[in-house]
Structure 1
Amino acid sequence: MSALLEIDNRRTHMSYADHIFINMCKDIIENGTSTEGEKVRPKWEDGTSAYTIKQFGVVNRYDLSKEFPALTLRRTAIKSCTDEMLWIWQQKSNNINDLHSHVWDEWADETGSIGKAYGYQMGVKHQYKEGMMDQVDRVIYDLKNNPYSRRIMTNIYVHADLHEMHLYPCAYSMTFNVTKKPGQDKLVLNAILNQRSQDILAANNWNVCQYAVLMHMLAQVCDMQVGELVHVIADAHIYDRHIPLVKELISREPLPAPTFWLNPEVKDFYRFTRDDVRLDNYQTGPQITNIPIAV
């Protein structure tokens, strides 16, 4: 009985993000479909085709009011993923020379540009009734002035510009939705992240954490509290050479979720830096290094 109680206690205190990740990976490996032998675009560095095992239409829900969804199975670099998010949403840049990390190096040209992708699209101004705004400023404007609007969203998958993008956007759309809890004054910010494709080992928790940070930042500057982040992945896949790494990763013992800290002094979205975020009491398993990346 005591052994069962100990197992239940571990499950109770484990990071919920780990629980979601483990179940998702098991489902892909056990029930997914393989692309082996099919015509696929990605290649490994040695030139061979990079096949995957995949699931269609994966939907994961994270309640950010309860915990920050960083994996404890291995460490997610919170400052680096925040830096990339701010590169897109705040700097609205498409040049890797504005980034601190090297995750985009494969897709940049000799000038550092990734073409009319990601941050470029966020910086394009559009005509609205209220005047000219880009997509980020429109989101902030509506959250502050029309919080119950059902039209608060972004989209960077612009077909007219795809031929000038070095990589088509993977995480391409955010839809924000505001609710209110009975008896509470502050509104609750929720969002759906739509992703057409995701390399689960290399990018899943990276994307989850960076958009969780974005929601915390937007909630703070709009005087709201964070609610749910719903992550919709059309093609959730594990590459063939990643399967042994994923199996080892999900066999690890999950640890308690860390505590997220966001600098409470910042009230302007454009004043945030990667140093304004921190994960406290973040205990993790060992990092997986030298993950092969298909391009």
Structure 2
Amino acid sequence: MTDHYEAQYLDLLARVWETGDERRDRTGVGTRSLFGPTLRFDLTDDRVPLLTTKRVAWKTAAREMLWFLTGDTNIRSLVAQKVHIWTDWPLARYRRETGEAIDRDAFEARILTDDEFAAAWGDLGPVYGKQWVDWDTYEPAGDGLYRRGPGINQIAELVRMIRQDPGSRRLIFTGWNVAQLGGMALPPCHMTYQFHVAGGRLSGMLWQRSCDLGLGFAFNAFSAALLIRMLAQQCDLEAGELVWSAGDAHVYLNHAHLVEQQLARTPRGSPRLRLNRRPDSIFDYRIEDFAIEAYDPHPAIAAPVAV
């Protein structure tokens, strides 16, 4: 099925694994990497780029997106929803700084039941949500000092601009706050989004500085498409296209089994993403507002996360 939307992803996965530059990386695991690929996905008629060569936990990705939009940076609310994708970073910090060989389940249990522990060890720093909806500003306080001013809600401003000035070339938001990168558990990978309105359709472009093709891409592409659909609905538009582009697109060396299994599978079907209602604002969606139909994927493939 070379014309299936997933074929371009599988082709990229194969190219990176077979021809990518093998390199040492921050995690110590090692990767094979290519620079600058671009993929395009049609979002019309409720189409969604949900991978079918392995089962994707799309509700987990949707819950993460909703969490970003709250501005929360603590894993506690995610853990309460049985979303574990951000736990490894604070867990690694806790083990490193305390020397305690605690397992993930015990760590998450303490996050849920101990307010002080959650505040001390569950926070990720000023990651995605903080930058998206509460970008820090500063104003003079006299004597050469500055105090924090009102935060900038980039998402609310984006909705306003799409509605009022759809031809603008400034329909952009980003998580790459240079001054605060050092305080983040992980600097933003899916870092900059730009949008374009034409013919009554909203298209979006996601630029990732770094993409783990084995694990991260499935979530990144689905989440970006979901966000485009939400924004389009809020702005009385239809969805158009997702353009995905990466700087460093890589496969971890310990994901060989994942690559082999996925490339041996044939994409199947064309799932659809339905929005069950239109909330009052972009910030009022709930997980019950999303439904995936006609999704018949191959089984999931387990693979380790590099922290």
- TM, length-normalised to structure 2: 0.81
Cα distance in 1 between the residues matched to 2:151 and 2:300: 45
2:185 pairs with 1:175: no
Cα distance in 1 between the residues matched to 2:258 and 2:151: 48
2:277 pairs with 1:264: yes
2:14 pairs with 1:32: no
Give 1:292's aligned residue. 304
> What amino acid maps onto 1:71 in structure 2?
L
2:150 pairs with 1:114: no
> What amino acid maps onto 1:95 in structure 2?
N
- Report if the CA contact (8 A) 2:234-2:278 is conserved: no
2:68 pairs with 1:58: no
| Alignment partner of 1:105 out of 87, 109, 116 | 87
RMSD of the TM alignment (CA)? Answer: 1.8
Cα distance in 2 between the residues matched to 1:133 and 1:241: 40
Give 1:124's aligned residue. 134
Give 2:247's aligned residue. 234
2:190 pairs with 1:190: no
2:51 pairs with 1:41: no
Query: CA offsets per residue over residues 53-96 of structure 1, 9 Å max, x none?
Result: 111001111111152110111111221101101111x2111111
- Report if the CA contact (8 A) 2:14-2:259 is conserved: no
SS of alignment partner, residue 270 of structure 1? coil
Aligned residues: 263
Superposition pairs of residues 64-83 of structure 1, within 5 angstroms? 64-65=43-44, 67-83=47-63
Deviation at 1:198, TM superposition (A): 1.1
Cα distance in 1 between the residues matched to 2:196 and 2:201: 8
Instruction: Give unpaired runs (5+ residues) of structure 1.
Output: 1-9, 43-48, 181-186
> What amino acid maps onto 1:120 in structure 2?
K
Superposition pairs of residues 158-169 of structure 1, within 5 angstroms? 158-169=177-188
SS of alignment partner, residue 283 of structure 1? coil
Give 2:226's aligned residue. 213
> What amino acid maps onto 1:77 in structure 2?
A
- Report if the CA contact (8 A) 1:64-1:212 is conserved: yes
SS of alignment partner, residue 38 of structure 2? strand
- Report if the CA contact (8 A) 1:94-1:113 is conserved: yes
Give 2:102's aligned residue. none
Cα distance in 1 between the residues matched to 2:288 and 2:178: 35
| Alignment partner of 1:157 out of 164, 168, 176 | 176
SS of alignment partner, residue 244 of structure 2? strand
Deviation at 1:145, TM superposition (A): 0.9
Cα distance in 2 between the residues matched to 1:194 and 1:232: 5
Query: CA offsets per residue over residues 179-219 of structure 1, 9 Å max, x none?
Result: 11xxxxxx211111011111111110111001100100110
- Report if the CA contact (8 A) 2:133-2:156 is conserved: no
Identity of aligned residues (%): 31
